[in-house]
Structure 1
Amino acid sequence: MKPRLSQDPRQSRNRLILFLLIAFGFTWACWLPLLANRQLASDLPVLPGQFYLGSFGPFAGAAAAELYSGGKGLGTWIKTLFSFSFPRGWLLISSGLPLAYGCIAILAHRFITGSFPDPSRFGLTADLPARFNIWETSLVWMLTFGIGEESGWRGFLLPELHRRRSLFSSALIVAVVWMVWHLPAFWFNESYLGMGFGVIGWAISLAYGSVVLAWICAGSRWSIIPVVIWHGIFDTLTASDQAGQVMAMACSMLVILHGIILMRTLGRRRAQP
């Protein structure tokens, strides 16, 4: 199944512009009050879970772009996003890969720190209530940043770019947009504050993570279900407070290695007009 894409270059350009404006506008409108409260002590009113609400910017942008095309493709787009008509092996790949990263990261944590991570603290993050366990945290990540981001990045932007570019080039462009979209979080979110020069490693791992996710999404016939699972598990492993530097760094290095291995495979996937 090839991605369903418009053929008019002007319409395609307008769809991309509209997508980016709304994806960034929605997310940054949610996040900038959090930034102002953290950096300027502004005491602006915010909603519970406003950080997670901002994750739906890419979804909103993609939905608006589909409506711009007359709305006829909106239903088809939604059905494609959540379709189960893909080889079930991709469910195993999308869940098994981040879990394998996590197991290796735990061993790295033991080797570097001399102790294993506390299993009771897995998934705990200052962004969620302390009572949440690892399963609840993973579910929240999948339903927010998983669906909210992947419906836009892999569910819309990637196949739209793949019209004229290889899958590898498209994945790298998505990565650049994805990085810029995160910018406000670096001034208010605990996972990004104080990253310092670690932002270089974060950017590299995000770029190769985009390659891995493009491979999974294309193999899943443009359904985002497998990439949502990968995204949710990976975020639980790397964005929890316990992940610190060791586990997050180990997982990121494994993603980079996997992305490097996939570069040639994605480069052979030429444009699909």
Structure 2
Amino acid sequence: MTRPSQAIPQDMPSWVLLPFVLGTFALTWGIVGSYILFPETMAATFGQISGAHPLFFLATWAPAISAVTLIVVRTGWRGLRAFLSRLLLWRCAPVWWLIILVGVPLVFVAGSLIKGGPVLAPLPPEGAGPMLALMGMMLFLGPVEELGWRGLAQPILQRHMAPIWAGALIGATWGIWHLPAFYLAGVVFADWAFLPFFIGNVTLAILVTPIFNSARGSLLLPMLFHWQLINPFWPDAQPWDTWILLAVAAGIVWWRRDSLFSRTGAATEVVPRPAAG
């Protein structure tokens, strides 16, 4: 008999998706909105916002903060440990590792070459050191979002709809969630156009879906995929990177249409139950 202290945590119910989304938007839009509406007051109180500002990290981590809070409240610390065990899931079809490690960089290189740019992003005068430091920092920025998007939202949505629609819905939500940052001076989004970015978000969320399911709900692979998208060594390829990724995603959707349009085999656990024995 399992002792109460060793009870297996129950998985997250589907209704937590609503407080997850509300909490994610409230934290991010609250921080970013304050800098948009009260720029002088916020700058005087907390300093000028930038991509390295602690509040920018906090706003970026909102999906993870919202998801982890709900998991701890519902399942306790044992549930959180079980949830984080999904970071150790790495086995999947080799083609997905190839796409993450080789395919994504090639998209940026090809897009840059099409627009007459370099193969790699130019190094700063100080050399590769600052770029390596930035690359390390990026690992703890955008990829942490995946604890929310792929950690909680994707498996819950896949209980109720086919993976492709779950991915598309998350991508659209992800894109809208970024919207205030396009009106925020001092961050990279201020120089981008929102529509291509939104299309790119939906495309990327669909593209990562078969990777996520092939690895049985892995958190590691989506985080590495996200990291590659913001790797500072890859050159600026806008807007060609969006259109190339759109073409790649269309091909993968056609290739994997049997699994993407069916809930059979889709990962639906947020908090995995330990294997028997």
TM-score band (shorter)? Answer: 0.7 to 0.9
* Distance of 2:31 and 2:175 partners within structure 1: 17
Alpha-carbon contact 1:142-1:232 (below 8 Å) kept: yes
Aligned to 1:270: 263
Alpha-carbon contact 2:92-2:215 (below 8 Å) kept: yes
SS at match of 2:217: coil
CA deviations on 1:40-81 (whole Å, 9 max, x unpaired) are: 67534226332123211111111122234332532211111x
Structure-to-structure mapping, 1:64-103, within 5 angstroms: 64-71=69-76, 72-80=78-86, 82-87=87-92, 89=94, 90-103=96-109
Q: Indicate which of 190, 195, 199 corresponds to 1:193.
A: 190
| TM-score after normalising by structure 2 | 0.76
Tell me the CA shift for residue 213 of structure 1. 1.3
Aligned to 1:21: 22
Q: Establish whether residue 222 from structure 1 lines up as the match of residue 220 from structure 2.
A: no
Query: In terms of mean alpha carbon deviation, does 131-140 or 56-65 score higher?
Result: 131-140
SS at match of 1:70: helix
Structure (1 or 2) with the larger CA radius of gyration: 2
CA deviations on 1:25-45 (whole Å, 9 max, x unpaired) are: 22233323333455x675342
Q: Indicate which of 137, 141, 151 corresponds to 1:140.
A: 137
Aligned to 1:127: none
Q: Establish whether residue 35 from structure 1 lines up as the match of residue 36 from structure 2.
A: yes
Moved over 6 A (4+): none
Tell me the CA shift for residue 249 of structure 1. 1.1
State how many pairs are aligned.
247
Letter of the 1:56 partner, please give it.
W
* Distance of 2:42 and 2:220 partners within structure 1: 39
Aligned to 1:58: 63
* Distance of 1:105 and 1:46 partners within structure 2: 38
Letter of the 1:164 partner, please give it.
H
Alpha-carbon contact 1:84-1:223 (below 8 Å) kept: yes
Aligned to 1:235: 230
* Distance of 1:184 and 1:262 partners within structure 2: 31
Aligned to 2:6: none
Identity within the alignment, %: 17
* Distance of 1:116 and 1:86 partners within structure 2: 31
Q: Establish whether residue 12 from structure 1 lines up as the match of residue 14 from structure 2.
A: yes
* Distance of 1:146 and 1:116 partners within structure 2: 24
* Distance of 2:101 and 2:140 partners within structure 1: 15
| TM-score after normalising by structure 1 | 0.77
Alpha-carbon contact 1:134-1:236 (below 8 Å) kept: no
Tell me the CA shift for residue 194 of structure 1. 4.9
1:6 and 1:26, CA in 2 relative to 1: closer, same or farther beyond 3 A? same
Structure 2 regions of 5+ residues with no counterpart?
1-8, 48-52, 269-277
